[in-house]
Structure 1
Amino acid sequence: MPATVAVLGGGYGGMTVAKALDDVADVVLVEPRDAFVHNVAALRGVVDREWTDRLFYRYDRLLERGRVVHDRAVRVSGTEIALGSGQTIEADYVVLATGSSYPFPAKIDVLDSAAAKDRLHATRDSLERADRVLLLGAGPVGLEFAGEIRAAWPEKAVTIVDPAGDVLPAFPVEFRSELRRQLEVLRIELVMGTSLRDQPPSEPGEHKTFTATTGTGAEITADIWFRCFGVEPATGYLAGDLAAARTAGGHVEVTGDLRLPGQERVFAIGDITALPEAKMAKSAGDHANVVAANIRTLINGGGEALTTYEPAPPMIALPLGPKGGVSYTADTGVLGPDVTSEIKGADLRAGYYAEMLG
């Protein structure tokens, strides 16, 4: 009988490893959503109605032999998985790919795709009525969202507030200078080195005019606001020996071959790993390729050495709307808006994932 591989989470990493092992194992992909969500393009899906449908792809055609179980793992101990429905899956190999949560709309927090589309449309309607937008957080999400808003509605005022002294300080000064240049051209206001004294009186994404005061005493009036910080890895289901791999911050320690320490048949990929690298869809896909190769080796008898993963060096492709943005890798240096648009800005890799999901 072929080995059973349970993949928990159908995001970028999970669906990649599930598809890669479909020909050699009985793959069970456990995913509570009714469709894959292309979160990389979620901010474009907020401002552009035509993009909303391009965020969601059903799993029906992902696997030829395996199956997708629309459920959630509530307890995982070793290779035994308890689901929210009360069912239990006994697997030969387990891949933890449950990802992370992040405030809407950067990540869609609604499981049903039809309801998620309705929420995106409602958020867009609120944004359309707002003249002044406040974003809390000047990380990649806040900056990308600001660029999307200005590209869609050039007349809107956009302000970003962040307690850090500068934008994306982990990247070279040349990158930050080009980023600031484009933000200035877009007339996106950066308020750095401070935060709001109190949370706005409205809910994120709600159209309601308010005035907020920063820690330095400055007043900012806006009609709508969004939280652009606060990632949380989804690992609360780990139990027994697996729980020992969970760090204080909720990430999971992994060995060089992406197994949990002391575990021969339990792997982890994507946002939940404690690897010292940026949490990106590309990294999740790279993890998936390593894990798929290693599980294939183990299924075939383990005669070959397992593949190890080297954490990626700092890199970023940060679009500021479909035609703007700045990118950086150590090999290429700083790349401007034209190249960034080719890499990510115009299509946001939607075509790649649409093809993968059939």
Structure 2
Amino acid sequence: MPRILIVGGGPAGVAVAQSLAAELTPKDDTEVLVLEKSKFFYHAVGTPRAVVDANYTNKLFVPYDNVIPESAKSFVKFQRVIVTRIVPGANQVEYAPIGDDDELLAGPVKSMAYDYLVVATGSTYTVPIKQPKNNFKRSTTETKLAE
């Protein structure tokens, strides 16, 4: 079964995942994994509005469960990890998994093979425009928005 890894669940990564979800079917026997640190898509473009309208803050956070159609959820999945290294010659990525408590899981770095790799890691800005690099909690970003 071919595996397509998408590193990053921002606008570009989600767009690629949605395109693949629309084009592929379970019969294609292809696995699509989006490797992302967060539980949700953070709509950074809406940040200025949330700064002046606290009621808008909830609209900035879209759970990843809501971005892929039900018909594709058997082969397009999100996995909460931080990719620490890409090994192109071996067609592998190394990663550290993130637990349900938004903390990195202890243990050795893991690796995963791929047939196709999409790097969609996006840009870096300060909080609250973007999430902090090593903090995956929604509450951290919400607190910064309220300041």
Structure 1 unmatched ranges of 5 or more: 124-358
Pick the aligned partner of 2:51 from 25, 40, 46.
Answer: 46
CA RMSD of aligned residues (A): 1.5
Q: What's the offset of the Cα at 1:18?
A: 1.1
Q: Which runs of 4+ in 1 moved over 4 A?
A: none
Amino acid at match of 2:143: D
Alignment correspondent of 1:70: 80
The answer to whether the Cα contact below 8 Å between 2:3 and 2:116 also exists between their aligned partners in 1 is yes
Q: Deviations over 1:182-230 (max 9, x none)?
A: xxxxxxxxxxxxxxxxxxxxxxxxxxxxxxxxxxxxxxxxxxxxxxxxx
Give the whole-Å Cα distance in 1 for the aligned partners of 2:38 and 2:112: 18
One-letter amino acid of the counterpart of residue 101, structure 1: T
C-alpha displacement of 1:104? 2.5
Identity of aligned residues (%): 28
1:111 paired with 2:136, answer yes
- State the number of aligned residues: 121
The answer to which structure has the higher strand fraction is 2
Write out aligned runs for 1:290-301 (5 A). Answer: none
**Structure 2 residue 80 is matched with structure 1 residue 59:** no
What corresponds to 2:95 in structure 1?
83
- Is the CA contact 1:46–1:105 (under 8 Å) kept in the aligned structure 2? no
Match of 2:103 in 1: none
Tell me the alpha carbon deviations over residues 27-67 of structure 1, each in whole angstroms, 9 at most, x when there is no partner: 10000011100001112111211111110001013332221
Q: Is the 8 A contact 2:8 2:35 kept in 1?
A: yes
Q: Is the CA contact 1:9–1:29 (under 8 Å) kept in the aligned structure 2?
A: yes
Match of 1:15 in 2: 14
Offset, 1:116 = 1.8
Normalised by the length of structure 2, the TM-score is: 0.75
CA distance in 1, matches of 2:112, 2:77: 13
Which protein has greater RCO, CA pairs closer than 8 Å, 6+ apart? 2
Shift of 1:88: 1.3
Structure 2, unaligned runs of 5 or more:
98-108
The equivalences for 1:326-341 within 5 A come to none
Q: Distance in 2 between matches of 1:101 and 1:50?
A: 25
SS state at 2:81 partner: coil
Larger Rg: 1
| Partners of 1:105 and 1:55 in 2: CA distance | 11
Secondary structure of the 2:66 match is: coil
- Verify the 8 A CA contact 2:131 2:141 in the aligned structure 1: yes
Post-superposition Cα deviations, 1:279-320, rounded to whole Å, max 9, x if no partner, equal: xxxxxxxxxxxxxxxxxxxxxxxxxxxxxxxxxxxxxxxxxx
One-letter amino acid of the counterpart of residue 55, structure 1: L
Q: In the alignment, does 2:32 pair up with 1:33?
A: no
Which residue in 1 is equivalent to 2:102? none
Structure 2 Cα separation of the partners of residues 117 and 36 of structure 1: 14
Contact 2:3 2:31 in 1 (8 A): yes
Within-5 A mapping of 1:121-270:
121=146, 123=147
